[in-house]
Structure 1
Amino acid sequence: MVIEKAKLFENTRERWPATVYVRPSKGVLCFVAEPSLVDVYEAVEGSCAPSGEWTAEDEWTHLANWSFHQALWALAERSAERQLHRNDVTFHMFDERMRFNLSDECWNAERIEYEESPSRFD
């Protein structure tokens, strides 16, 4: 399967709400988000493998969704009370997290595939 990094990023970003309202919190989490970033992440995960069979495309959706979630979470942690936009997550932020998440040896084949894949943002 050929992975186009830019397309993977764009398709992932489209699965997330256009805006998320974030406010700081003094609780266990350092912020509260509406809608919940965890809930959105889990909803995207739930859309994978609707037939009950996990495909290579579902695996890339899963990895990309986790990376996008991490990037948006990092923005939310540093935010004052405000609206975050899914477009605040840049391709560079997403790509950095994808590469980190694929750095473990168990992802060697996927890491090679990702690194060798074209990106019109490069």
Structure 2
Amino acid sequence: MAETDIKETETAEEERELTDGFHLIIDALKLNGVETIYGVPGIPITDFGRMAQAEGIRVLSFRHEQNAGNAAAIAGYLTKKPGICLTVSAPGFLNGLTALANATTNCFPMILISGSSEREIVDLQQGDYE
């Protein structure tokens, strides 16, 4: 009996160590009944999309962030639950922001989630931030 308790404790500790922001966001989305994410895949958010799919959330990919955002806004309007738009940082975020502004103006529930780069790998002197 004691060995089982020890194994359960070790497993719980390992799960706590593995929990990151992606898991927290996915759990929050699932708790709020989100079934679909609309977005454009890219390096900062590829893992997030993969993890969301593994948890049973459908991820629909688009070729442009504004189109993904408009789809999320319309989904929010039709379902009365926030539509989720997932974009990469910098230009992807700005392209999605247009759809978010449109959704806000029309009172469509929508959430825009954007990835980002780690600060230590960003070299603003070279202009390679995204």
TM range (shorter): under 0.3
Q: Which has the larger radius of gyration?
A: 2
What TM-score does the superposition give when structure 2 sets the normalisation length? 0.25
TM-score (norm 1): 0.26
